[in-house]
A and B are shown apart, each in its own frame.
Chain A
Amino acid sequence: MLAQVVTILLDGLNYASFLFIVSVGLTIVFGVLKILNVAHGAFYAWGAYAAAFSITQAGELGYPDWIGFLLIFASSIIVGLVLGTILERLVLSRMYAQDEVLIALATFGVFLCLEDAILLVFGVDPYFAYQPMAVLGNVVIGGVFRDVYSLTLFALALVVAVSCWWVLTKTKWGKLIAVVIYDREISQAMGINVSAVYLIVFIIGAALGALGGAYVAPTTSVAPGFGIDVIVLSFAVVVIGGMGSIPGALIGSILVGVLRAVAVHQFPELELFVVFAVMAGVLIVRPEGLFAPPKARTI
């Protein structure tokens, strides 16, 4: 019984870590730029492809397997920097005055373009970049073999959560972001370079999306269509937690992850249902989500 509880918790936290890393970028971008960025799924997919491709190439060139970890982080940063800059400067920066729905549709268009670009650049064959997962091996916890690589996902999620909290509450940058969130026009009047804040926040959000994909890449078959499901899942997590709330994304991820693990272990037929049942339940009780940041009332 205890072994089963431990296993369910570990499975749930494992999935929650994955969900948090992916959805935190989405929620940060929404919180600051007020944009529902559907292209976030494409950042995830590009991160996965960039990592899988570089790890595979490194393996073929005879580099040691641990190089894969460096490549995962390098791929995330490069994808975030390049794609994030291109999307923010070429598309979004020209649309901030437009309706939020129009901007969301524009990001959807970008998502489709980036998905097709994957086919052009990487082809249709799947990539297997298993080396970082294989090099860490497995351990027995609660009577079940677990791959150490998935356990490192907890640590990564924790680092991401603490870093976000620290930057937003303890640094000058965090204060600048808070001011821009509160009132863009006043911030601009006070001399804050809002355009630069938007660009940097968007790049960070994109890099976090790419990091989610890059970190998952060694555990799976990286194939076309990789980013489609993840945008739906991360959107569900963000809605549950409250759009724009980082603690909300954390709690939403844990809630979805653990309940899904319970479903898989005890009621497998409900696995698909549980994520969206939680979302529907939260929306009925608290339509703004569990931890939606307070909104300034405008008169």
Chain B
Amino acid sequence: MVNILKRAKPRLAALASCLLLAAVTTGSASAKDTIKVGVVTFLSGPAAGPFGVPGKNGAELVIDAINAGTLPAPHNSKGFGGATLEPLFIDESGGGAKQVAEYRNLVEKQKVDAVIGYISSGSCMAIAPIADELQKLTIMSVCGTPRLFEEKDRSHVFRTQGNAVGDSIAAARYMIEMFPELKTYTGINQNYAWGQDSWKFYSLAMQKLDPTSKASSKPQFPKLFSGQYSAEISTMLLDKSAVVHTSFWDGDIEAFMLQGMVRGFFQQKKLVSVTGASAVDSLGKKIPDGVVIGTRGKYGLLVRNDLSDPLNAWFVREYKTKYGVYPLAPSYQYAKAILYYKLGMDKAAQAAGGFPSQDEVMQSLKGISFQSFDGEVSMALAKGRQAIHPVGYGLTKWDAKKGEPGVEKVRFYGAECINPPEGILSEDWLNAGMPGAKCN
């Protein structure tokens, strides 16, 4: 028996070597068949329910569809440059320092091919320098501060969502078009990059578009995730301003609306909410009619009943089937970022005639225009890294027939009407009176 084993040893060793070689070869091929991507969104904390989880759902839905090749045309090719995407979902809560550590872990230990996500402007500003330092392709999906590209050139960062400049100018245009008689305004915005930028650009746009309008000297800047706004509501009720601008998001917008409703706030003030659509869905019938609501794009509440676009129709139908609720703005925004990555991978793979390098993918992502679930998106700013797209607003109106929230008097403003051309800082463009703005 021992002799048999001895004789068999060299053969077994040869067989084992062959198997090992086959395993290594197969492993190498599967590395090209599968790509790992970190998808970062709020999975805990007050932003998880209204923003993070809908964002994750949107990403998951589209990743599954692309992996299976079931997205509608023209995006119905299977995979990302032919590869299957394996997402690693990471929680965005915990602040900038934690996010930087998570990002380093994704890149250096998990060896991801790209990172997609980030809702908070604070996270985006913390991650962008690290993305450039580690030279990892990173696509920001939701955050809105214009500082991301206006303060510094980025080498590895892209953003598929328009910024606070377009959102604010669209809000100002809507108010002037729909409520020209309301000349005075104040604001309540969270005390960090997104809130401060939103207020700054809304005020600037109002001053330029209607020089007779007047801003309050006491705009409110409560802490992010503060949740209690009794004193702020009192201050604004005593303020003579007719309009209140807010870029509140997450649980803050819902808390503010609840507290405002019981204090007759909406009967006395016209609220313009840049991202309030998530609260309209959460609070349902309790939201009064006539609140000005935005979604930062052709998303959610504003396009829910307009299913003429096949991509939007597919997205709304599939999302509702899978998750039992309508997709919110973050669902679209994450889905869009994933789709953008697919398009870059496909284009680069085609040009390279095989699996593309990161540089080839980034080159193919720069400056492209594409049809997403929210219509046409153009990577027109920041040397082809920053998206522009139309932004719209509407007035809340309870749909009694359907028993769900609805909107009326929806207006969309074209991307080139609300964004500066390439090469000009947003503030300079606004101060100059928005030269070259193409508004129909």
User: Which residues of A does B touch, CB under 8 Å?
Assistant: 3-4, 7-8, 10-12, 14-15, 18, 119, 124-126, 128, 130, 133-134, 137-138, 143-147, 149-150, 216, 219-221, 223-226, 229, 260-261, 264-266, 268-269, 271-272
Contacts and interface: CB of A to CB of B under 8 A. Distances in A.
B262 A268 contact: no
B262 A221 contact: no
Contact of A126 (B44, B93, B251, B286): B251
Given A15-B228, A150-B230, A219-B259, A124 B49 contact: yes
A260 to B, nearest CB: 7
B231 A124 contact: no
Interface in B282-308: 282-283, 286
A265 B231 contact: yes
A246 to B, nearest CB: 23
Contacts of A128: 254, 258, 282-283, 286
9 contacts: A3-B238, A7-B234, A128-B286, A146-B263, A149-B262, A221-B254, A221-B255, A268-B219, A269-B221
Interface residues of B, number: 43
Given A124-B43, A268-B235, A271-B221, A225 B93 contact: yes
Contacts of B227: 220-221, 226, 229
Contacts of A144: 234, 237-238, 263
A145 B264 contact: yes
A238 B430 CA distance: 48
A147 B259 contact: yes
A12 B227 CA distance: 16
Interface string B43-67: 1111011101100000000000000
A226 B228 CA distance: 11
Contacts of B228: 15, 18, 216, 219-220
Contact of A124 (B52, B258, B259): B52
B238 A15 contact: no
Given A149-B262, A225-B225, A271-B223, 13 more contacts: A10-B234, A124-B43, A130-B258, A133-B258, A134-B262, A219-B259, A220-B227, A221-B258, A223-B48, A224-B45, A229-B225, A229-B226, A271-B222
B220 A268 contact: yes
Contacts of A124: 43-44, 48-49, 52-53
Contacts of B268: 145
A223 B234 contact: no
Give me the 9 closest cross-chain CB pairs, A-B, nearest first.
A11-B231, A225-B45, A221-B254, A124-B48, A145-B264, A221-B251, A264-B231, A223-B46, A220-B255
B218 interface: yes
Interface in B236-281: 237-238, 250-252, 254-255, 258-259, 262-265, 268
Nearest to B278: A126
A4 B93 CA distance: 38
A48 B238 CA distance: 30
A11 B234 contact: yes
Nearest to A124: B48
A143 B240 CA distance: 12
B329 to A, nearest CB: 16
A272 B191 contact: yes
A15 B259 contact: no
Interface string B337-376: 0000000000000000000000000000000000000000
